[in-house]
């Protein structure tokens, strides 16, 4: 394999660690956004039910 030695370099390990760290941060941010969106959706649903009763 041509790139076999490359994967073992400390720079690559460092890059990989940084990439994983960024990915985890992004995941947490997305989870927070998703949670916020759900809260907003629930709140809107409640308001809509008050404005337009189902009966």
Q: How far apart are CA 55 and CA 50, in angstroms?
A: 11
- pLDDT tens, 1-54? 455 555 678 888 899 999 999 999 999 999 999 999 999 999 998 888 877 776
Measuring CA to CA, how many Å separate 28 from each of 14, 34, 41, 53? 21, 10, 20, 37
Q: In the Cβ-directed half-sphere of 15, how many Cα atoms lie within 13 Å? A: 7
The reported pLDDT for the residue numbered 51 is 78
Structure tokens, 14:
């460092």
Q: How far apart are CA 12 and CA 28, in angstroms?
A: 24
């Amino acid at each position: 394999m041509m790139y076999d030695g490359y994967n073992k370099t400390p720079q690559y390990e460092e890059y990989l660690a940084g990439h994983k760290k960024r990915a985890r941060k992004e995941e947490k941010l997305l989870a927070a956004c998703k949670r916020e969106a759900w809260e907003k959706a629930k709140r809107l649903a409640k308001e809509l039910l008050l404005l337009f009763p189902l009966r």
